Amino acid sequence: SQQGEEDPQALSIQEGENATMNCSYKTSINNLQWYRQNSGRGLVHLILIRSNEREKHSGRLRVTLDTSKKSSSLLITASRAADTASYFCATFSSGSARQLTFGSGTQLTVLP
Amino acid sequence: DAMVIQNPRYQVTQFGKPVTLSCSQTLNHNVMYWYQQKSSQAPKLLFHYYDKDFNNEADTPDNFQSRRPNTSFCFLDIRSPGLGDAAMYLCATSRGDMVPTDTQYFGPGTRLTVL
């Protein structure tokens, strides 16, 4: 089964609102990464949070990590129509140094 | 300034007819990956190369093969495509020397249709 599971599966909000997506994982990790995928395109790396970090910011993105609960959240503030995409969390598989395992993804739609 | 290039962007093949997808990179990264992504699903790793060292995922069908003739290029060969192989195929690269904080750079993908 996948290392990461995300919820919600789909999220629809109005432009200007905040969007929060959650990710849960099963095994211990060194870090957790978030990627964005526009429809029909490749994935783009957004942000990486290490296991010893609790929160990280990058522009309008805020990521939190709770290793005790094996969960992470991605917050996009002041959303824009251009933020419409699928968002995936990803972790390195247990015992692997290079193989990322992706969560199931959240499809975010930002309505103008 | 494209960094990971995939050709073609769209590929149509017939059931059972071999097809090759290509990926090239200008990043000089050590690691190249091939993922399969079906509609509304997460990317699934098929295999990866660290330099010339090939690493196959345990559940990757034998129908899928890969070649990496040099640092810049990597190919995905599907020997006998079935209808279930219709998907987006994503190529990605990473430096490989920043583990465990390595991030991956993805190409735009090749959408494969099997008729």
Residue of higher predicted confidence among A82 and B56 = A82
Phi, psi for B24 (deg, rounded to 5): -135, 155
pLDDT at B82 over 80: yes
pLDDT for B57 equals: 86
Give the residue from B30, B48, B104 showing the smallest Cα distance to A34: B104
pLDDT for A47 equals: 95
Beta strands in A1-112 (DSSP E): 4-7, 10-14, 19-25, 31-37, 43-50, 55-58, 61-66, 71-76, 85-92, 100-102, 106-111
pLDDT for A7 equals: 85
* Residue range A26-55: mean pLDDT, rounded: 92
In whole angstroms, give the CA distance from residue A5 to residue B36: 18
pLDDT at A98 over 80: no
Chain A neighbors of B103, CB-CB under 8 A: 33, 45, 48
pLDDT for B5 equals: 96
pLDDT for A16 equals: 97
Nearest to A98 among B99, B107, B109 (CB): B99
Contact A100/B104, CB-based, under 8 Å?
Answer: yes
* Residue range A37-57: mean pLDDT, rounded: 93
Residue of higher predicted confidence among A28 and A32 = A32
Are the C-beta atoms of residues B112 and B85 closer than 8 Å to each other? yes
pLDDT for A5 equals: 78
pLDDT for B99 equals: 65
Mean confidence (pLDDT) of chain A:
90
Nearest to A2 among B42, B48, B50 (CB): B42
pLDDT for A1 equals: 39
pLDDT for B98 equals: 66
CA-nearest residue of chain B to A102? B42
Q: Helix, strand or coil for residue A83?
A: helix
Residue of higher predicted confidence among A97 and A12 = A12
In whole angstroms, give the CA distance from residue A41 to residue A31: 25
- pLDDT tens digits, B4-37: 999 999 999 999 999 999 999 999 999 999 999 9
Q: Helix, strand or coil for residue A81?
A: helix
- Confidence category of residue A21, pLDDT binned at 50, 70, 90: very high
Are the C-beta atoms of residues A25 and A67 closer than 8 Å to each other? no
Pairing of strands A10-14, A106-111: parallel
